[in-house]
Amino acid sequence: MLSHEDNELLTRTNAGTPMGDLMRRYWIPTVFSEQIEKPDCPPVRVGLLGEKLVAFRDSEGRAGLIDERCPHRTASMFFGRNEECGMRCVYHGWKFDIHGDCVDLPSEPPGSTLQRKVKIKAYPCHEQGGLVWAYMGPAELKPEFPELEWTMIPESHCYTTRHIQECNWLQGLEGGFDTSHLAFLHRGTAEANRRVVPSEYAIVPTDFGFMAGTGRVLNEGEISWASNLMCMPFHKVFATRPEAAHVWVPIDDDNTMLYSVDYWPDKPLSDEDLERSTSHHGIHTQNIPGTDIPINNKSNDYNIDREFQASGDSYTGIKGLGVQDCGIQESMGPIADRTIEHLGVSDTAIIQIRKLLLQSLKDFQAGKTPPGLDPVSYRARSTRFTLRDGESFEETIKEQLKRDYESVAAE
């Protein structure tokens, strides 16, 4: 369990909070590039770390992310005109470029010096992997973009979706590393080899987060291991085939935007891959058209089918891996009360997440550089392998990491 104070420390991400300031040191996904597909297209609202923002693409094709509030009278820039390399507020015509500079102030008299003094909050953007990413921290500390494998491959190799979770970001991240739930929550949906309760758990700390291992006994003397990556501050890379990833991005303290990815590093996704990804057996959800809200959601109890649950064909009566995860994580409330939990050995990765985040916050507040800002460190890969008695999971992972980094150095 966590103290109330530590729970607050880890879950609150608004500007000025310790976790919010730490998260702002990383690149954060904001919208799909296709949502602002063309120059001068309509802007898109973005909720990020408690801030209300607007994304747009200017006349030169550059992505921008600015405060939704016009600094004049706080009118919404969502209703603005995207024209001639800037967003113009329709209230009084004040116009701002992607850097936040005021480039036109038509409501002021000639000779006014106000234009030089006015700026709108703006964040630098980077496009990769079909997404627009933003950096919200101090400009002089902006890191290079992380070398996340799924953002570095052709579009045909990757399938990405997103949806809103009606709960705090940490509930999603912890749920993603709660491997023992696969044998229960996802029974009837997950693949048969994922329904066996793990008997071994291991953690290998890294400079970007950690590698979490779960072992399932195959035969006497043999254990099948799955090793999943946790990359600071909110990334997971799965040991599945195709490979998969999640990114849990706080919209605010009570809502999260979950990006979900299936991908092959070295070949296009097949029709069979895509069919599985978009079925109930995949990690993606089906959303209400034109929204990021799942069709099966909190307001309709995820369309739980009690007869289906009673039949034994489903443990939950809820269809879809992604919907099952959202449903149970949202059932904990907007922010889970971790002071009343009772954790066990199967919660090893969750305990490690909390230790990592708390230590990272402590170090960050002491002036140290946050972990995982080296872009190359994210080239580490999730994996599956079988070990015999006496063979070490930790040493196997260390050797794998060494090979991953050596392959990068050889490029």
Any idea which architecture 149-409 has in CATH?
Alpha-Beta Complex (3.90)
Q: Report whether 310 contacts 295 (CB < 8 A).
A: no
DSSP H helices, 177-302, are: 271-277
Q: Report whether 318 contacts 303 (CB < 8 A).
A: yes
Residues 6+ apart with CB under 8 A from 220: none
β-partners of residue 224 are: 216, 386
In degrees to the nearest 10, what's the CA dihedral of 190, 194, 199, 201?
A: -90
Residues 6+ apart with CB under 8 A from 102: 94, 95, 96, 115, 116, 118, 119, 120
According to DSSP, the β-strands at 209-219 and 222-231 are: antiparallel
pLDDT in tens, the chain (411 residues): 899 999 999 999 999 999 999 999 999 999 999 999 999 999 999 999 999 999 999 999 999 999 999 999 999 999 999 999 999 999 999 999 999 999 999 999 998 999 999 999 999 999 999 999 999 999 999 999 999 999 999 999 999 999 999 999 999 999 999 988 888 888 877 665 555 778 899 999 999 999 999 998 888 889 999 999 999 999 999 999 999 999 999 999 999 999 999 999 999 999 999 998 888 888 999 999 999 999 999 999 999 999 999 998 899 999 999 999 999 999 999 999 999 999 999 999 999 999 999 999 999 999 999 999 999 988 888 999 999 988 999 999 999 988 887 765 555
Please state whether 364 falls in left (phi above 0), alpha (psi between -120 and 50) or beta: alpha
Is the pTM above the cut of 0.85?
yes
For CATH 2.102.10.10, the residue range(s) in the chain are 31-139
Distance (Å) of CA 231 to CA 20, 149, 204, 213, 248: 17, 12, 12, 14, 11
Distance (Å) of CA 106 to CA 23, 95, 165, 278: 37, 9, 42, 50
For CATH 3.90.380.10, the residue range(s) in the chain are 149-409
Q: Which residue from 211, 216, 172 is spatially nearest to 191, judged by alpha carbons?
A: 216
Tally Cβ neighbours within 10 Å of residue 405: 14
Domain 31-139 carries which CATH code?
2.102.10.10
**Which DSSP category does 134 fall into?**
E
